Structure 1
Amino acid sequence: MPVELPRAQPAPSSHTDPSGSVQVMAEVDGPWCTVVWNDPVNLMSYVVFVFRHYFGYSRLVAEQLMMQVHEEGRAIVSRGSRERVETDVQAMHSFGLQATIERAGED
């Protein structure tokens, strides 16, 4: 099951439901998504570091997103206004990750 997370500042609060999946409690503030793509260059530990450092995600959430990128080839790591998501995509590029912007619901 894909983990889709909205952009949140500070770190989004989350809880684990009985099925073991993480549910994020944050508001979606726009119809755009930041998609991070799998690549053969970056270590999984580095991707977790980037998600924790930039987005402020917990280790558990960052690891789940990293595994989604690794296993499915992509993961939505933030949602928001076009301006906010463009900033997130640019930040991912500055960390050396492949990222794109897309409208929510186009995945």
Structure 2
Amino acid sequence: MSSVEGSTLTREETDLEAEFSSLPEVQRPYQVVVWNDPVNLMSYVAWVFRTYFGHPRERAHQLMLQVHEQGRAVVATGTREQAERDVTAMHHYGLQATLEES
């Protein structure tokens, strides 16, 4: 195997690198994290999870308890753009939320 113009890559590796560099970047999943706060009622937090995310009553209640007891809960996953929209929506509902890469 020969080097390509001083590179440590073989011609085959260089060809593969060129081929894959033209492909669109794969969307990495992001998660929406809601944090505990001393302001919002637990019933309100569960209501937000049901209303905005469409979680069933029991799942919304479980997530609300996780926020309350553990300080945070992952309430949704998706593309970065969707996670950013969800975080903004949580802020509009008065909840503390962030996004992080899954």
TM-score, normalised with respect to structure 1: 0.69
Count of matched residue pairs: 76
What corresponds to 2:97 in structure 1? 99
**Quick one: distance in 2 between partners of 1:50 and 1:82?**
21
Where does the alignment leave 5 or more consecutive residues of structure 2 unmatched?
A: 1-26
1:71 aligned to 2:46?
Answer: no
Higher gyration radius (CA)? 2
| Root-mean-square deviation (Å) | 1.1
What amino acid does structure 2 have at the position aligned with 1:80? G
2:46 matched residue in structure 1: 48
Structure with bigger strand share is 1
- Kindly indicate which of the two structures has a greater share of residues assigned to helix: 2
Tell me by how many angstroms 1:65 deviates: 0.1
Where structure 1 has 5 or more consecutive residues not aligned to the other structure, the ranges are 1-28
Runs of 4+ in structure 1 deviating by more than 4 angstroms, as ranges, are none
Displacement of 1:31 in angstroms is 1.4
